[in-house]
Structure 1
Amino acid sequence: MTTPRMQDKRFRQMLDAAPDAMVVVDQRGNVVAVNREAERLFGWTDAELRGEPSSRLIAERFQRLYDTLDQSDGESRETAPKRAPVRIFARRRDGSEFPVAIHRSALGPSKDALSLVTVRDLTAWRDVQESLFRQKEQAVVTLASIPDAVITTDAAGRITFLNPTAERLTGWRTTEALGQPADTVLTLISDATRQPLESIPARCLREGRAVDLADGVLLLRRDGTEVPIGDSAAPLRDRHGTTIGVVLVFHDVTERRRAARKLSHEATHDALTGLVGRKEFEERLARVLAEAAAGVAEHVLCYLDLDRFKLVNDTCGHEAGDDLLRKISRLLGGRLRSRDTLARLGGDEFGVLLEYCSLTKAAEIAGKLERAIAEFSYVWGERSFSLGVSIGVVAITAASGRTADVLRAADEACYAAKDAGGNRVHVAQPEAATGLQDQVESRRIIRLTRAVDEGHFELYAQAIVPLAPEHPARPRCEILLRLPDERGGVETADAFLPQAERHRLMPAIDRWVVRQTAAVLGQWHREHPEFELPLCSINLSVSALDDADLIPAVREYLTQHRLPPEALCFEIAEAAALGNFAQLVRLISEIRATGCGVGLDNFGNSLASFAHLKALSVDYVKIGGHYVRGVADDPVYGTLVRAVNEIGRIMGITTIAEEVESETILQKLRALGVGYAQGHAVAPPAPLVDRDGKVALLHVPRTG
């Protein structure tokens, strides 16, 4: 009988020692005995289950499957093959269900023999499987979501996986790419040579390390189109360190390459005209100078200076001047050979580098340029202007010297053309070049020295107005320097100050400007005590940083003309000043000690601007005209101007926008919160003292 056997102490001990739940059932499927693990797992005691149908332990939906476990298809229990465990859900006393692997086997050959049902709890196993599934699902979702393309290969270099980005970039679907050699799906060529590149997976496997693609690589897509990419590959290794494949990560760098080319273009080209800039022009000139020194070829340099350009600028404003420069650039460019270089060197000056060109041919080309501009009529609004150009032409030979030397020679030849009446070409003959340079240079120096000694300079003033609505503010202006020429016009400071710098005339010019300004303002203040004292800004040259006599002279002029020091504010160009930072800090301290104000001109040329501003005790910064002109059309410039203004606000520094040439720009600056504006859209420059002796300053009644 079975019951006495179940009471056998040794058999009970064996059941209880089993790690899995054990249930002994009779031929009708009723429970005969359970071990301790079964009691723990199901929540019933052996006494409570004894005689109950064992199906009570199985989830209802799985009971039919459970009932089939003891069916042997007519075979005897001795010959029936062992069946694998079945995975179903069991049921606890509290009604909860849990996954199990269940196996039923006979305890003897007779038909009425008992059966042993082994129940293994799979809850922990299922948790592990679900965790692994979630990890795998997360990895798949991650790979599908990241913007980079990901491809994996096996150790033979055959494709095993592509994420959606890789499918889009290569043009291959995963189902088509699986098993293909990596080079078939990821065909790479050099942008420069158009030649195929070595397989990245093959190189990675060969070298056993991560590798990166060099710049200038194109991916040849399945449809034949090309995409510039950045690429890296690394070996895939199992837990034993054995290389089992390669993972490649790459991305489309079209936008990055476009941005890099744009930055490169902006760094080497003039922002206004799109022509080659001075720095790039000088590099090209240095290259042809090296060729000339080796006797390889003939080259020629032309230096162009527009005649009567200032009339357009002063009459119609910088917006018209900028428009004219763009039109002149297109006019000149259309009359040059494809191999020639046309550059804007600054202001209304241009350079033309004629490579592989004789001096005779260069004179012919220069003549065509001169006639094109003479025949050109510029219209702005209802006004029409005729222009001219003075062109200096010099041969580039082994004797030309350095870049600066040949540029100076061309500049001198240009000045000779202008000095002869303008609107003409002057070809400097190599044998006469040195004498011509010395002659023209001497005449310029004499003229500048006489202007300093005899007071031939003229002072102009340009108003600086507040952009925020407020009660009548204290008048502000910038003092500008002009030099009358022999033809009845006036030259702006950028036309003659570079030469004055070279010949160390700037200290004297700086003091002349301060002395004359102090004299005019001092007299005006004494005659008009009922009006607010104007604040006039004076530009100091870079030589002021080393001029020990400047500040004592400023004190002397203030005392001599009884001018309160708060009437003057000195501007220092940021680019020049930051190259002499220690001297700049000292000069600012000395200026502040006099009671005068200090400002930084043309601020924002580099990130160093912001780094140094905190260390400089200045009253205001002038935002460079390059940024100001761009705020209406370029959101990047608008963001830069807003950043400068916000930093100024936090530090208590006034911001002034320079070269405000249109109402559109003015409104944009007002919306950005900039404090003040200066430019033709606000007020053009005017003589500080007119022919009738009237001072060009706003008369604002004094308050309080």
Structure 2
Amino acid sequence: MRLMEAISRTEGIPVMGGGIPQQLLYIDTPGQSRERASQLLQASGDYHLLQTPSLPEGMRLLAEEDFALVLLGAGILEADWRDHVSLVRTLTQWSPVIVLMDTRSETATRPVIEAGADDCLEIAGLTPELLRHSIRGAVLRGNRWRIGRTTRIQTAGSSASRNTPRFPDRAILDAIGDALLVVDEQDRLIHMNTSGETLLQLSRMQALGRPLHALVTLTSDEFGVEVDPLTLSGKRPAVSQLLFLTLPDGSRRPAQCSTWPLSASAHPGQAGRVLQIHDVSEIYKRLQKASYDASHDPLTGVLNRREICRRIGRALSLAREHDLEHSLIYFDLDGFKQVNDLLGHPAGDRLLREITRMLLDTLRGRDSIGRLGGDEFVLLLEYCSIEDAIEVADKIRDLIRGIRLEDHKTPRVSASISVVPVKTTSADVDTVLREADRACYQAKRRGKDCVEVAAC
């Protein structure tokens, strides 16, 4: 006898009063046991029977609909049967679970019951009447629990709530903007709301039953160490943390993440945890922009005075703590006022941006470029000797001398440059900048377009 592998479940399903379903779900792999069980089930009662040969498909059905009863066949239990029973039990908030076994023994039955099954039946000794009796008894117990819980909910509500439609839990979860991922005790996904599907770019069917670490990768920062989302908290709700979520396409997205355990009293028969992921990409972008604006010069895009001074201070601390040597290059443009006077300030702005582009192309990635204001620039060369810094300064001087704007009417511009060591004996940021300014002034007195090394 061939089994139905697909049955339309949107029309014609008998439902008892009060929204209690009468369809049964039977999950088992093809084989003789399944054939025999299918015959018994179809002869045992009036329930609408839906059969599937796949545990993942059965999990998808359980996640999407409510069943009066779930039956697990012997084929499903051949491997990892304890995990399978536990997973199905966790997915079914209302439905009893009956396991159909080839042979029934105390040794085999006890672990199945401990894993969450309501009953175990031996296929060989079953008759349609006995199976009908077992199914009806289990369904009746499940329906009593449904009715009792619904009655308590309605009693606790106001009289106005009687006229208000009661939305199922899934609709409520899907209405939440944050991604919610629910896992069982083995950290396998048992539910994910619509926001979770959108964020992770996975359907609920694709994700169900998979370990959480296979679905979600979180790091402490954009390029940091991975964080296990379920270690954010133990048995108590976790404080929300800013982490970075890696998506299937490889992109990273900042998110506020928290976890909390499922309450045994609120979720009878279930144990596990919930991971909440709140996408903060837009907020993070705005914060990054605010941070960038606070530390960068709006005209040239290099560091502003406050940020370059902060970095010089950090370099001084490193020099003292680890006996390191850094260097600082300070320069002021010669002839910049003539550019503004003859060609206008927009031309002067273009010249400053062109100089900035040249500096970025010339220096190392670890070096810092700052604009103190006007036509004054500071370059912090970390882990650079004074001799190497002088070579860099000479190169910059030659490059600035050759700069011309696109209209070729730019007056000749050069740079008076000073080089200052940043080392263990350096005093503080203000002292270093004063020495740099003094040496730059000496370069101008020498005729401009030259490099002066500070004596400190």
TM range (shorter): 0.5 to 0.7
Residue 170 in 1 paired to residue 194 in 2? no
**Structure 1 letter corresponding to 2:399:** A
Name the CA shift for 1:398/1:237 in 2 (closer, same or farther; >3 Å): closer
Q: Which runs of 5+ in 2 are unaligned?
A: 1-45, 47-149, 156-160
Residue aligning to 1:424: 450
The answer to whether residue 179 in structure 2 is matched with residue 152 in structure 1 is no
User: Of 390, 400, 412, which aligns to 2:438?
Assistant: 412
Structure 2 residue aligned with 1:322: 349
2:294 is aligned with 1:267: yes
Q: Is the 8 A contact 1:378 1:386 kept in 2?
A: no
Q: Is the 8 A contact 1:190 1:218 kept in 2?
A: no
Aligned residues of 1:188 and 1:220 also touching (Cα < 8 A): no
For residues 203 and 349 of structure 1, what CA distance do their matches in structure 2 show? 48
3-state DSSP class of the match of 1:217? strand
Post-superposition offset of 1:172: 2.9
Equivalent residue, structure 2, for 1:661: none
What letter corresponds to residue 452 of structure 2 in structure 1? H
Kept in 2: contact 1:301–1:353 (CA 8 A): yes
% identical equivalent positions: 37
Q: Secondary structure of 1:216's match?
A: strand
Give the Å deviation of 1:312: 1.7
Cα distance per residue 1:612-667 (max 9 Å; x no partner): xxxxxxxxxxxxxxxxxxxxxxxxxxxxxxxxxxxxxxxxxxxxxxxxxxxxxxxx
TM (normalized to structure 1)? 0.39
Structure 1 CA distance for aligned equivalents of residues 280 and 409 of structure 2: 49
Aligned match of 1:331: 358
How many angstroms apart in 1 are the aligned matches of 2:264 and 2:322?
Answer: 64
Query: Partner of 2:338: helix, strand, or coil?
Result: helix
1:234 partnered with 2:234: no
Matches of residues 167-246 of structure 1 in structure 2 within 5 Å?
A: 167-191=197-221, 195-200=225-230, 204=233, 207-221=234-248, 226-237=252-263, 239=265, 244-246=271-273
Do 1:143 and 1:163's aligned partners in 2 also have CA atoms closer than 8 Å? yes
Tell me whether 1:372 sits opposite 2:402 in the alignment.
no
* Contact kept? 2:229, 2:275, Cα under 8 Å: no
- d(CA) in 2 for partners of 1:350, 1:398: 24
Work out whether residues 342 and 351 of structure 1, in 8 Å CA contact, stay in contact via their aligned partners in 2. Answer: yes
Partner residue, 1:390: 416
Aligned-partner residue type, residue 385 of structure 2:
S
- 1:279-316 deviations in Å (ceiling 9; x for gaps): 12112212222333356232222210011111222333
* Structure 1: gaps of 5 or more residues: 1-83, 85-123, 431-704
Call closer, same or farther: CA 1:386–1:183 in 2, change over 3 Å.
same
Contact 2:189 2:208 in 1 (8 A): yes
Matched, 1:299 2:299: no
Q: In the alignment, is the contact (CA less than 8 A) between 1:343 and 1:350 conserved in 2?
A: yes
The answer on 1:251 being equivalent to 2:278 is yes
How far, CA to CA, are the matches of 1:390 and 1:179 in structure 2? 68
Distance 1:393 1:199, change over 3 A: closer
Secondary structure of residue in 1 paired with 2:371: strand
Partner of 1:276, secondary structure, is coil
CA deviation profile, 1:148-194 (whole Å, cap 9, x unmatched): 21223345544332111111222332233334443333343444665
Letter of the 1:387 counterpart: V
1:279 is matched with 306
**Does the aligned pair in 2 maintain the 1:230–1:250 contact within 8 Å?**
yes
Indicate the structure whose relative CO is greater, using CA pairs within 8 Å and at least 6 residues apart: 2
Alignment deviations for residues 226-254 of structure 1 (CA, whole Å, 9 cap, x no partner):
44332122233255797744333213333
Pairing 1:22-171 to 2, within 5 Å after superposition: 134-137=165-168, 139-154=169-184, 157-171=187-201
Report SS of the residue matched to 2:213: helix
Q: Secondary structure at the match of 1:399?
A: coil
In structure 2, how many angstroms separate the alpha carbons of the residues matched to 1:417 and 1:348? 16
Letter in 2 for 1:171: Q
Match of 1:346 among 359, 369, 373: 373
Whole-Å Cα distance in 1 between the matches of residues 217 and 356 of structure 2?
43
In the TM superposition, residue 379 of structure 1 has moved relative to its aligned partner by 4.8
- For 1:413, the aligned partner's letter is A
**C-alpha displacement at 1:424, in angstroms?**
1.6
CA contact (8 A) 2:243 2:257 kept: no
> TM-score scaled to structure 2, two decimals?
0.58
The letter of the residue matching 1:152 is: V
Compare CA radii of gyration and give the structure with the larger one.
Answer: 1
CA distance in 2, matches of 1:341, 1:303: 12
Tell me, what secondary structure is at the counterpart of 2:227?
coil
- SS of residue matched to 2:333: strand
Q: For residue 7 of structure 2, what is the aligned residue in structure 1?
A: none
Residue equivalent to 1:679: none
Contact 1:378/1:385 (<8 A) preserved: no
Distance 1:188 1:287, change over 3 A: closer
Contact kept, 8 Å, 1:230 with 1:252, in 2: the verdict is yes
